[in-house]
Structure formats: structure tokens, C-alpha cells
Chains A and B, each alone.
Chain A
Amino acid sequence: MQDTVDVLIIGAGASGAAVAWSLAETRMRIVCLEQGEWPNPARYPSTGMDWEARAMTEFGFNPNRRANSADYPINEDNSPIKIANYNGVGGGTVLYAGHFPRFHPSDFRVRSLDGVADDWPIDYATLAPYYGENDRMMGISGLAGDPAYPPKMPMMPPVPLGKAGTKLAKAFNALGWHWWPSDSAVATTDYDGRAKCINLGHCLHGCAQGAKASTDVTYWPHAIRAGVELRTRCRVREIATDGQGRASGVVYYDRDGKECFQAAEVVILACNGIGTPRILLNSTSARFPNGLANTSGLVGKNLMFHPYAAINGIFEEPLDGHRGPSNCIWSQEFYETDPKRDFVRGYTFEISRGRGPLVTALTGMSTGRIPWGEDHHRAFRRMFDRITSMVAICEDLPEMHNTVTLDPVLKDAHGIPAPKLDYTLSENSRRMLNHGIERGTEVMKAAGAYDVITQAPIEFGGWHLMGTARMGTDPDRSVVNEWGRSHDVKNLFIVDGSLFVTSAGVNPTSTIQALALYVADNIKKRLANLFD
């Protein structure tokens, strides 16, 4: 038993860092428990000659394959999309590309505008100031004036177009389609202690330069200076409750495997759309036999990914290859619902540049384009430095049958039941993916690609984990209220992607963090009567 803390945050990733920093100004005693370690940038793959290979092993996306000691297993056999995450300080921001789009105003009103899913209990205008604050804390590059968005002001100039971006920008122009430099969490100038990007081309596997805004180098140094305590290698098993049905603290295992209890006045979950329902479902008691905060039965329901389509063009001339940030330009030509299409909602194209020699070889050899034997070298040179890639990131609509539950057999190293996914790709998503492949191929051909390789969905592309503890004003149809507090447990809050009512067709980190700041602000404003 340790002294009671005022606020206990579980998870030190995108949202946990943001909420910790924001609440630090209250001078409350705040502790964050993180199951992983601080990442060591000197160990990131781009520092060694085996940079491409290590990106597929210890710095790979999938926790089941990576199987680091901080990872927990996930039964994903019944999902065509496999999980991508990172367990450590910074969470998923350590291994994300750094695309930093906001939601559109229409994303908060999908029922009202398009007759599907549900509206959010908040709107774009509510989140706008928190998007701005988060942009400043994370340090966002981009260019003002995008006609696809309400006005916003990036902190730094955009990432470079490069040869690939120039070629595709011209193609988008030729087709009369929208494009714009991506809002990017990659610093293009020195910013808040971060050195500017030097085009390592390895954003997705940890930025050794520190130019990419992972929260271990953005929010956390500020939060810790402001007094927040961050304990690493502490894996939470469950949230305990008292006789009044309030959260009393958490049971966790420390780095030595010792079971500990940390009492807290307020508990905040920031463990992503898989980890958060896992902890809630593991937190059963006589009062909460179906898991904590689960009177609605919606904990773990409505799991959303973003199904991705990959479109890779091969060109005659050398482009940027593996050089340059993973962000470049995007297109939202097909973002808003168009009744002429055979699907509702839409997607974003994101151009992600090329790949290094090993991934080029594996791409070519796995698709029959680079043979074994004498012709290997000639075929390899037809592809090396000549591939540029883009993805269509598709909005996934919530469906009750897409779930996170507890696996009856699988457990992590501490014996805690592991999450089990059941997920089916919807017909709407399939149509959207097909549209993305067709239009994406059209862009690549317009840009001069002589060959196009496509894949949909990207199997190991479950980067975005959303919807499994959604927010709303109706306790029967949501897990938390419109400012992130559990309907059932008045001192329990959620700030991660679990909150999402719908997924939009963009990367979620910017919105996850804006929501975390918004929830933190609501806590601060209501401190006198927070539990009423």
C-alpha cells in the first residue's frame, strides 16, 4: 500500500502524456504507471547498418511478432487487420509516421449529415482550441490555407515535397484533385528542444534525431518538470473499487513482478482502444460483474480501425527512395460523403515516399517482380529508388459485433487475461478500399508509374484503435459522458481512442490528444464538484 495520490494515470502514450501535462498545473499529486520503458533513441534502428531489418523485429509494429518484454499478447486470429502498437513511454507515437490531421467538422455529425452511426456529443468548435494547444505542444509542421479544413496555423514550414511529392502533386493537379502538404509531427526547424528533421526516412520505427514528436520528447519532459511522477515497468492488472462504487486505486505489477496497490482519488485510463477495455473488463467485482464502467454493455464494443489500402507506383526514374520523412502530401478529394459513390463517408490519400534496398528487394521478390538468379540484379535496379507509395486511410464505421473481449486462455507474462479481437471488415469499408485502389492507381498512372502494386486491407495496419468505450450523453448508449467521465464510476476517466464515437478518415493522434486536453480542462474547471 502506498500513499494515496490525487490522480493516477494508466499509460504514458499520446493521451496519457497530454492529460498529465495539462493537469500538472493544478499541483495535485499525479502519478502515471507505464508498462514499458523509456525508449532509448540511440537504439533506434536508423543508428545501425541493420536499420531495415530491425524495423521488422524489435521495432516492428505488431506486439505478437515483436514480443518485447513490455508487450502483452493479443489474440487477433479473428481479425483481418492485425494490431500495431508500442508499449513504452510515448506509446504509439514512438512508432507512428507523425501524420497529424485534424478531424473535419462533419466527422462529429455523421448521423445528422449522412444518416449513419452516431453524432459525437461535442463538435469541432469545442475541440478547436485544444487542437491548437496540442499543435503547439507537439510542434506541428504544415502550411496554412488548406481548402479541405477550417483555418488553422501550423508552427513550422511543411516537410519537403521531394521528387516523389512533386511527381504526385503534378498528377493530382492534372486530375483536378485536391492535395496539400501533410500536417506533420516532424519538426522542420529546431523546436522546443528538438532538432530539425534530417530526412532519416525512418519515422515509423523511432526518430533517432528526435525531430518527430513522440510524447517522450514533447509532453513528458514538461510534465515531469511540473511535478508529475512517471513510473515505468508497472503493468496494471485492474482498477479496484470501494464500497461506494468509486475507483479506489489500481493493482499493478512493478518491474520486479511484485504485486502492488496504488490508491488514488481519480483514475484516468490512457491505454488505447485495446488496452483500456482490457483493463475495464479485467476489473470485475460483485458490484461490477461484467467489468468496470460497463453498465451499458458497451465496453469493448464498436472496435474501429482504419482499413488501409496501399498503392505503390514504380517509376522509370529515381525518386527519393528511403530518404525523407514518412509524411509528404495528402489528398482529401474523396473525404466527404458523395451520394454518387457506392459507400458513405470517405478517406484520405497520404503519400509516404519510398523504401530502402531491403524492403525493395522483399517487395519485388514477394510479388514475383524480382526473381532469384541471374536476372535478380537487373530487376532489382528497375525498382530500387523508383517506388513511391501512398495509402488510402478509410473511415471505419462502428459496429457492435466488432469487439475486444478477454481471451479465456491467453495471458500475459503476469498472468493477466489478454485481449481477444473479433473484427469483420464491413461492406462499406470494402467498397471504400476498392475506390481508393482504383483512384490511387489512377493517380500513380497519371504521375508516370509503369507498374502499380496494391494491397487492401493492409494486414499489419491496425495502428488506430478506437471506439471501445465511447463518449455520449446517454448512459445506455455510451461508457463515458461528454467530458470523459465514466457514467458509472464518478472518479474514473478515459482519454484515449476508446472514446471515439466514429473514426473519421484520418489518423487519430491529433484528435486523441485534443480530447485528452479537453477532458483535463473539464476536470480542472470542475474540481470543486468533480464527482457530483
Chain B
Amino acid sequence: MTDQIAKDHPLSPDAREQLRIVAGIMIPASEEFGVPGADDEHIFGDMLRTLVPIAAMVSAALAAIGPLEPLDQAARCAACERFQASAPTMAAVLVALVAQCYYRDARVMRALGMEPRPPFPKGFEVEQGDWSLLDRVRARPKLYRDAP
């Protein structure tokens, strides 16, 4: 995050730290799958840029969790579980923010077997399929009703 973003950002420094902790709990790094966590610096920077139009909702959701920074990891996870159960609408705000930034990260996309690019202009291949599967349907009498 640049100094300018940090200075002008609508989330307070404490709220930003809280968000980073929540992101890391929601989607942690995994050696097994070769992916960073959602608290990765690059992904988190994307998150801070993305959340600006919904900063008030994000702040409210983070506040509803309660302070995580002083807690150990187990207590942090427990607080997040309580939050998910008691405030699902607020939790959905954080899920949408974290997931959208996480799943467009090039490293994550590569780990999923995707090319890290938008759909356009290259597009994708989709197999044509076997139209002989229709033979059975073609053999049916008409299904539609005649109308007076």
C-alpha cells in the first residue's frame, strides 16, 4: 500500500489491521495447494483499493467482530465463527470483498489451472459434443399442442 493510500484511506489503521487478520483467517495460505493467503500483501492492497465505495459497510462489519489484535489465533477464529453465525449479512460483505480480490490474483488463478487473464479477447475452447445424442429425441412424436 502506498503512503498516499494509507493517508487518505477511509478505513482507520486499526480497522485495516483487523481486516487483514480476518482475511487471513477466512482464506489462509496453503503450502499443500501452493497459494498465498488472503492477507498476502498484494491481495490485501487490492482489497484496500476495492473497498473504498463500501468502506462504511466494511467498517461496520469489522467493528461487529470485536477487536482481534490482542487475541491468540484460536480466540480470533472463535470470534470470527461467532460473527458469521450472528451477523451473516455483515459477514457476506467481508466474504464478497475478500473473495473477489483473492480469486483474481494471478498466483491463485495459476494454482487453479487458469491462465491469469480476463476472458476477452482470447476466449476459451468448449467442445462441440456429440449431436447423435439427439437421435432419441428426434424419434419422438411432436410435443406441442395444436391450438384452435
Residues of A within 8 A of B (CB): 44, 46-53, 56, 104-106, 108-109, 112-113, 123-124, 143, 145, 147-150, 158, 160-163, 165-166, 169-170, 173, 178-181, 198-202, 208-209, 320, 322-324, 332-333, 335-336, 356-358, 361-362, 365-366, 372-374, 376-378, 381, 384
Contact = CB atoms under 8 A, between A and B. Distances in A.
A109 B104 contact: no
Nearest to A167: B129
Interface of B: 25-28, 30, 32-33, 35, 50, 77, 80-81, 84, 92, 95-96, 99-100, 102-104, 108-109, 112, 114, 116-131, 133-134, 136-138, 140-148
A52 B124 contact: no
B137 A376 contact: no
B33 A377 contact: yes
A147 B143 contact: yes
5 contacts: A112-B148, A323-B125, A323-B126, A335-B144, A373-B25
B123 A198 contact: yes
B134 A123 contact: no
A247 B92 CA distance: 50
A373 B28 contact: yes
A170 B129 CA distance: 11
Contacts of B50: 53
A165 B145 contact: no
Nearest to B100: A53
Q: Would you call the interface of chain B mostly helix, strand, loop, or mixed?
A: loop
B120 A180 contact: no
A49 B123 contact: no
Given A147-B138, A202-B119, A166 B130 contact: yes
B129 to A, nearest CB: 3
A344 to B, nearest CB: 13
A372 B84 contact: yes
Nearest to A336: B145
B124 A323 contact: yes
Given A147-B142, A161-B131, A209 B120 contact: yes
Contacts of B146: 105-106
A44 B121 CA distance: 11
B144 A366 contact: no
A170 B133 contact: yes
A150 B130 CA distance: 24
A169 B131 CA distance: 10
Given A105-B147, A106-B147, A113-B145, A201 B119 contact: yes
Contact of B133 (A50, A173, A373): A173
Contacts of B80: 372
A170 B131 CA distance: 11
Contacts of B122: 198
A52 B100 contact: yes
A108 B116 CA distance: 49
Contact of B148 (A109, A143, A166, A199): A109
The 9 A-B pairs at the shortest CB distance, nearest first, are namely A161-B129, A198-B123, A323-B124, A357-B103, A105-B147, A324-B126, A109-B147, A208-B120, A200-B119
Given A166-B129, A202-B119, A208-B121, A145 B138 contact: yes
A202 B138 CA distance: 31
Given A112-B148, A200-B123, A169 B25 contact: no
